[in-house]
Amino acid sequence: MPYNLRHLRVFLAVADTRSVTRAAEMCFVSQPAVTQALGKIEAMTGLSLFSRTPQGLYATEAGDILARRVRRALALLDPALEDVSPRLKVTATSAQLLALIAVRETENFTLAARKLSLAQPTVHRAVSQLESEAVRPLFERTSFGIVATRVCETLARAARLAFAELEQAGMDLAETMARETGRIVVGAMPLSRACILPEAITRFRASGRSIPIEVQEGHYDDLLAALRRGETDVLIGALREPAPIGDVVQETLFHDSVVIVAGRDHPLAAASAITAEAMAAFPFIVAPQGTPIRMHFDRIFEQAGCAVPTRLIETRSVILMRELLAESDHLGCVSKRQAEAEIARGLMVALPFVLKNTERPIGLTLRRNFMPSAAQALFLDLLRQAARASAAD
């Protein structure tokens, strides 16, 4: 159940002024309305958020925790609301913003309603109310669907990030009661799934934490977009140099390199030395265009002065690569650490070809100014520990 934005604004006014009377004046509501808003938030959290004293209302530890998250959420949301219409700071509701986000993502009112488990007219009405306050359309109706305008894109993203902060508020408050709530969502690229994530998750569970961990797989651009929207908490894998955009920060954990691999029975498997020209005669399995590994792959042949192979299978799957290498004369170009387990088991062999300057940084990508909950902070530390252990092997 999402927080009521108007109630949160009243709560923050009380936390800042320590007075129901002054909060009522600031928020243009009655004193009973302030008292009612505080009561609903306390009932929702199950915690006492203020200590009532003759000198005023003082935030408890839980109140301070919630106030910190609410400030962060509104700092993200309010500029976007004002950009659409100043009135929306007063009138916009969580339900309306959730409808806006769902329509932006699905580009269809019926699909948005299904996603929110609501009736289609309810979602349509919520978006129409926002458009009415904005005195402008937030979506363009096209033959391909309903497309968000630029200002709508900005508002939807800000709202998503604000709601992510409020979800983290629930996680923070649960910690004060020695409980767990929420989940940790990880955007994971192939290498991290092979040698970092399993160790970190095992240690996380061994620490007694039972919070769900969701691991999302996909293309780098999709995972990065999900991180920036607040749908994931951290992205793990090969870093981009420089960082792809200014609202994320990157943290290097270790460096990886690239290796050329083959099946055990490949004609080149027993060779003592191999040239780029010899490898170019065979088909390759390699990562798609735009990835660091693909860049290194192309450079091998460009530097040797020969044509880059064109008989390619593009995939990020080491499992698919392993099976193809076993059944054909394909060669593979892959992360060394990602292939280590397969090589150690004898399922593929590393060819004696020296790849120069193929080191690439592996690490964490986080939203700038991301403030993790206690559970998220623990998981990030365990990822760092797992990376150090992997680099030391």
The DSSP secondary structure of 131-199, one letter per residue, reads HHHHTS-SEEEETTEEEE-HHHHHHHHHHHHHHHHHHHHHHHHHHHTT---S-EEEEE-HHHHHHTHHH
Quote the pLDDT of residue 393: 64
- Which pair of tokens denotes residue 219? 């293309």
Euclidean distance between CA atoms 231 and 187, whole angstroms: 9
CATH architecture assignment, domain 5-157: Orthogonal Bundle (1.10)
- The torsion of the CA quartet 281, 282, 287, 289, rounded to 10 degrees, works out to 40
Quote the pLDDT of residue 190: 79
Quote the pLDDT of residue 392: 65
Give, in order, the Cα–Cα distances in Å from 186 to each of 201, 202, 247, 249: 11, 15, 18, 16
| Angle 142-147-150 from CA coordinates, rounded to 5° | 130
The contacts of residue 68 (CB under 8 Å, 6+ apart) are none
- Which pair of tokens denotes residue 152? 């709508």
Euclidean distance between CA atoms 280 and 260, whole angstroms: 12
Stretches in the chain below the pLDDT threshold 50? none
Which three-class secondary structure state does DSSP give residue 252? strand
DSSP code, position 18 = S
Which three-class secondary structure state does DSSP give residue 68? helix
- Same fold? 5-157, 185-252+368-392: no
CATH architecture assignment, domain 185-252+368-392: 3-Layer(aba) Sandwich (3.40)
CATH (residue range 258-358)? 3.40.190.10
Beta bridge pairs of residue 182: none
Count of C-beta atoms within a 10 Å radius of residue 348: 24
Domain locations in the chain as residue ranges: 5-157, 185-252+368-392, 258-358
Quote the pLDDT of residue 1: 57
Where helices occur in the chain by DSSP H, the ranges are 5-17, 20-27, 31-45, 61-84, 88-91, 94-106, 109-116, 120-134, 150-176, 190-195, 197-206, 220-229, 276-279, 292-304, 318-327, 336-344, 374-392
pTM of the prediction? 0.84
Euclidean distance between CA atoms 46 and 174, whole angstroms: 9
Q: Which helix (H) or strand (E) holds 238?
A: strand 234-238
